[in-house]
Amino acid sequence: MEGHHLIPLVVLLALLNLQLYSANELPSKSNTHYIKRSCSVTTYPKLCYNSLSIYAGKIKTNPKVLAQTALNVTIAATQETYVTMKRLSKTHGLNPIEAAAALDCVEEIGDAVDEVQKSIDEFGHVARGSNFWVQMSDIQTWVSAALTDEDTCMDGFDEHHVSGRVESLVRRYIVNVAHLTSNALALINSYA
């Protein structure tokens, strides 16, 4: 009976498929090397490599997926910073300058989240063709705008020479996000 042999074959194929799939997703040496090499064009290559190498199995040697993943990592950090800023702005005991600067940051980082999200959405539609350059240029513009918003947030503290616990907390978050954003922009530029 043919059906008798059919079931184990299907099971075997499914297992093989599963194994191939997970082997494909594993970071291989050449994939992590690709990320290291690509990250060398960024301003913060170590952060770039550390934030992306765990996705090596997905990125493989694809520059588009690399840039998209960098944007994903950037938006996750930006959203986390937004939540932290919002919480901070509601903290009692901030002095008036800190409170004003924190409120400005909530708005600026909120804008940065929107801009990175727009870039991610647009990147999903990018294809080599007549619209390619327009789309890539929009993405570059939005990511640059996000970077500016992050700088503006930090400027609010720097301008008034605010230093201390609040300032150092904000700096820690913003510097990380700004560096991730800068790296994402460099990888987008490389791809374009």
Ligand X SMILES: *[C@@H]1O[C@H](CO)[C@@H](O)[C@H](O)[C@H]1NC(C)=O
Among 65-73, 80-88, 126-134, 161-169, the segment contacting ligand X (CB under 6 A): 65-73
Decide if residue 38 touches ligand X (CB under 6 A).
no
Applying CB under 6 A, the site for ligand X has a residue count of: 5
Helix locations, the chain, DSSP H: 2-25, 29-39, 45-52, 56-59, 63-89, 96-123, 132-159, 165-191
| Contact by Cβ (8 Å): 32, 54 | no
Tokens of 124: 């999903």
Residue in 54, 65, 94, 145 binding ligand X, rule: CB under 6 A? 65
Comparison of 69 and 89: residue with beta carbon closer to ligand X:
69
Rounded to the nearest whole angstrom, what is the least distance from the CB of residue 76 to ligand X in the complex? 9
Decide if residue 119 touches ligand X (CB under 6 A).
no
Decide if residue 68 touches ligand X (CB under 6 A).
yes
Comparison of 68 and 89: residue with beta carbon closer to ligand X:
68
Q: Residues, the chain, total?
A: 192
With a CB cutoff of 8 Å and minimum separation 6, the contacts of 18 are none
How far apart are alpha carbons 53 and 25 in whole angstroms? 12
Decide if residue 31 touches ligand X (CB under 6 A).
no
Rounded to the nearest whole angstrom, what is the least distance from the CB of residue 186 to ligand X in the complex? 17
Decide if residue 69 touches ligand X (CB under 6 A).
yes
Rounded to the nearest whole angstrom, what is the least distance from the CB of residue 167 to ligand X in the complex? 32
Burial class (CB in 10 A: 0-12, 13-18, 19+), 117: middle
Q: Which residues bind ligand X (CB under 6 A)?
A: 58, 65, 68-69, 72
